[in-house]
Amino acid sequence: MEILVFPTLEDLSRKAAEIFVDISRACIISKGKFTVAVSGGSTPRRLYALLGSDSYREKIDWSHVYFFWVDERCVPKEHGDSNYGLVFKILLSKLAMPDENIRRMKGEMEPEKAARAYEEDLRTFFGKSALPAFDLILLGIGKDGHTASLFPDSETLGETDRLVVPVFIEKQQKQRITLTLPVLNNGSQVIILASGSSKADIIQEILGRKDSAIKYPAGLVQPIRDNILWLIDEEAAKKLER
Ligand code: 6PG
């Protein structure tokens, strides 16, 4: 595990954009494609904007990049809560990519069916027998320690067979779809982005007190190749001893 702390969200986002460029180039050279699973939320917005900006857009061969989603809210893709909609608006609409490279979760479908359909899509793309191994998985973290749409105490945390599951979030009375822990933990490189003082307590719990990390979904992201990188800004890191 590696933890990098940056003065601001801007610095952190630039680092994430550089890593995105480096990994995508290396994957495209070595195997002709780059697969990334992206998150919603507010933290990665700047990263997505940077990737779509003049300074980064030309550095990536987008025709060989395949976008997947870590989770989705059960709303139509035009809805303001849609994670696909967020990434499309900020980044994908700026790129000329073949439709088949953009593999969204279908938030407009009935949740169980949408989860099954996405699992089928993953199995078709990555092969039937093995777990999908994304080249890069971009995650965020909530104040309660959730990541993707894996929330504390949810039974989905114990899922070992399914790649994608529907989740009902009691607090918000909302339905979502999420990748499961086995898929997150099989990522070749996993990056968790955290910014702002509202994340300071949970960052201290997970990164500062090793014993309590596994109480939280984000702490259960322990990729089998141990390639997890936390990119955090000073505000979020202010309760960590350094
Ligand atoms: C989503 C996410 C979710 C997010 C965290 C952090 O769909 O909202 O995938 O897991 O990453 O809630 O969100 P912020 O970046 O807004 O703090």
| Residues 38-78 pLDDT 10s | 999 999 999 999 999 999 999 999 999 999 999 999 999 99
Q: What is the distance in A from the centroid of ligand 1 to the CA of 174?
A: 14
Q: What is the pLDDT of residues 95-104, one digit of tens each?
A: 989 999 999 9
pLDDT at 173: 93
148 within 8 A of 139, measured Cβ to Cβ: yes
Q: What is the distance in A from the centroid of ligand 1 to the CA of 210?
A: 23
Q: What is the pLDDT of residues 68-92, one digit of tens each?
A: 999 999 999 999 999 999 999 999 9
Rounded to an integer, the average pLDDT of 178-183 is 98
Rounded to an integer, the average pLDDT of 16-39 is 98
Q: What is the pLDDT of residues 197-238, one digit of tens each?
A: 999 999 999 999 878 889 999 999 999 998 999 999 999 999
With a 6 Å cutoff on the Cβ, whether 39 touches ligand 1 is yes
Atom of ligand 1 nearest to the CA of 176: 7
